Amino acid sequence: MTDQEGSGDLATSNKTTNTMKFLVKVLILLIFLAFIAYYLRASFGDIFQQLGQTSLRLLIIVTSLGMGYLFLEGKMLKETVAPFSQTFTTWNGMMASCYTAFYRLITFGTGTIFAEINFYHRKQMTVSQGVGVAILRFIFFKISTLTIAIIALSLSFRELYATSPSFFWVLIMSILINAALSGGLLLAALSIKLQIGLMSLCNRFLKNDKARAVVDRGNIQINALRRMLHETMQNKTVLYKVYFWSIVKILAWFIIPYACLVSDYPEINIFWTIGLISFVTVIAGVIPTPAGIGSFDFAYLVVFRALVGTVDAASSLLLYRYATFLIPFLVGLIYVVSTNGFIKRELKK
């Protein structure tokens, strides 16, 4: 066999190997997409059915509000990371939200924080910065929701207590618990004493050199996280911007129930429905369920059923879920497939 023939056989063999690798990866992708399709059908079948019964005009409105929320969240995240990342764009913020939403649903909430931190890490942020941004995003969502809920409660205090005292006290307790959770999380992240106590416990019980090395690296990350949060909290301009965009983005979601119900119930008040959905979000936030699935639906139906009846409350809930869960999930799915795009890399070969 000549050298030319040998090199030809080698090239053919390499081409065959690459083709097989490509086909295997395509098969993996198809299995992944089949799983997603099954998951969508099982989890969102009712939503798809409701979309088929919804007028085009209302569908456009709800979709626009859902996409508007994503844009505003992207803007908020851009302002959040501005002190330490000038390259992070509004688009990156939108994709961070959708990427996180995708993994929140397929992992039933268990992979949410890891997915979000991983996204920020891909954008050249340190782990501590990613954790800090995730904490601030969570806290500002809570604070914004609480702000709207407290305003709505203050405007309807007597009427709400007179008509439903039990619901009134549930709402008060939910507001207090949400405020305590947000404040406690922030204080824990900023507390030097807590960090020292945690490190002391680790040093007392972990004597292995490898384990101590992991603890030391963790201590460095916690220090960086605390400094990042402290610097951000000291920057009033950033805080005001983040708080403003957080309120505006929440309103994009909170308008959806009114948009869904006003055609059949022209007498309902947009400000009251915004207040009701803020109550629902606050109450659902203290009921522990995977990814918030179940608790929100229950609270929504209880609150809105009294306003418009069970059937219309359920229909508006499905459209709300479409805008707040399904749209971010689908955009996140597209982003995950396109950015992991091994097919595109293989085709370039």
User: What per-residue string of b and e applies to 37-57 under the rule 16 or more CB within 10 Å gives b?
Assistant: eeebeebbeebeebbeebeee
pLDDT digits (tens, 9 = 90+) for 211-268: 666 666 666 666 667 777 777 777 888 888 999 999 999 999 999 999 999 888 888 8
Dist. CA 221–CA 198, nearest whole Å: 13
Give the pLDDT score at 151: 92
Give the pLDDT score at 216: 61
Dist. CA 349–CA 34, nearest whole Å: 26
Dist. CA 192–CA 211, nearest whole Å: 22
Give the pLDDT score at 130: 84
Low-confidence ranges of the chain (pLDDT < 50): 291-292, 342-343, 346-349
pLDDT digits (tens, 9 = 90+) for 169-180: 888 999 999 888
Dist. CA 127–CA 125, nearest whole Å: 7
Give the pLDDT score at 127: 82
Give the pLDDT score at 205: 66
Q: How far from 53 is each of 27, 111, 310, 315, CA to CA, in Å? A: 35, 33, 17, 10
Give the pLDDT score at 297: 83
Domain coordinates of the chain in residue numbers? Answer: 1-42, 57-348
Give the pLDDT score at 26: 62
Question: What pTM does this model have?
Answer: 0.78
Q: How far from 213 is each of 3, 35, 79, 202, 207, CA to CA, in Å? A: 53, 40, 35, 11, 10
Dist. CA 7–CA 3, nearest whole Å: 6
Give the pLDDT score at 25: 61
